[in-house]
Amino acid sequence: MTWSSIHPGPDTWNFAPVDTLVDFASNHQMKVKGHTLIWSVDYFGLSVGQIGQMREMTTDDFRQTVNEHISTLLGHYKGKIHAWNVLCEALDESGELRKSLFLEKMGQGYVADIFHMAHEADPDAILLYHDYGAEGLSPKSDGQYKLVKYLVNEHVPIDGVALQMHLAATNEPPNIITMSKSNPRLTLKDISENIRRLADLGLKVEIAEMDLQIRNLQGDLPERLKLQRRIYHDVIDTCLREKGFTDITFWGFTDAYSWIDQTFGPDDPLLFDENYQPKPAYWGVMDALLSA
């Protein structure tokens, strides 16, 4: 649901592909999460043409365009999508608001503005802030905490935080690497403390894009899959022990299709293998869920 995909032109909307998914979910009693309303990394969320057009707008016209996009998109799916990743990747590695077209045109308050616009368009939807590399304790996760704490204190309608949880396994303890450049080594204790401080603000906390790379591990495939199972289990078990933790979304389900292969090289990051058979990681996840 990125802007460039679903709203490719000022007067052009491409609802059909998402409508198919939403209708399927409705017919099978499945919940749908919208992803993503605003992606602060312009070159991911907007096409080159859209960036050029919007850069030429006045501040008022830009704000009106953003509001119309949000109200039209949420209005189209009102009552059909239970939660939205409202704002994606608004922070840089230092935990400050990253330079973006939205920051440039709308100013420091754009984050709050976007959540207010989303709430007005669909008051019943769960509204989430969503980012990568902020799963543990680091300058970026500190910035994320500071941002959402400010939003809560200012009574901005934010319901929770979505931690992407793109991980890589390593043979070096504590065996987990996250996408945080400032503190890539991730411990279970750090995950717990980070979730706890977010939940103490009254926010829901969830895993939003989980996968686990094993391509750089030593050992044969069974050994690597065994460690993958343990990490999947331990991370999810750790999250489930924290109050306020509510949801888990995996970024795909079969190794036959993953962004990891395209971005980093061949890997086996998900719960089902390329033949759609459950891997040890699947059983590690099930063990954690059934023990909760």
pLDDT tens track for 29-41: 999 999 999 999 9
Concatenating the DSSP letter of every residue in 97-139 gives: BPP-HHHHHH-TTHHHHHHHHHHHH-TTSEEEEEESS-SSSSH
Give me the number of domains the chain comprises. 2
Give the pLDDT mean for 87-103: 97
Q: Are residues 152 and 279 in the same domain?
A: yes
Task: Tell me which of 98, 131, 164 is where a domain ends.
Answer: 131
pLDDT computed for residue 199 by the predictor:
98
Q: Are residues 117 and 213 in the same domain?
A: no
* 8, 64, 87, 247 from 45: Cα distances, Å: 11, 18, 11, 24
Name the residues annotated as catalytic: 89, 209
Q: Are residues 168 and 43 in the same domain?
A: no
Task: Tell me which of 64, 96, 131 is where a domain ends.
Answer: 131
Give the pLDDT mean for 229-257: 97
pLDDT computed for residue 230 by the predictor:
98
3-state SS class at 287? helix
Give the pLDDT mean for 4-23: 97
* Distance in angstroms (rounded) separating the CA atoms of residues 25 and 65: 30
What CATH number corresponds to the domain at position 75? 3.20.20.80
What percent of the chain stands above pLDDT 70? Answer: 100
Domain that holds residue 145: 140-292
Q: How confident is the model at residue 136 (pLDDT cuts 50, 70, 90)?
A: very high
pLDDT computed for residue 38 by the predictor:
98
pLDDT computed for residue 242 by the predictor:
97
Q: How confident is the model at residue 270 (pLDDT cuts 50, 70, 90)?
A: very high
* Distance in angstroms (rounded) separating the CA atoms of residues 8 and 43: 14
Task: Tell me which of 84, 101, 131 is where a domain ends.
Answer: 131
Chain-centre distance of CA 268, in angstroms?
Answer: 20
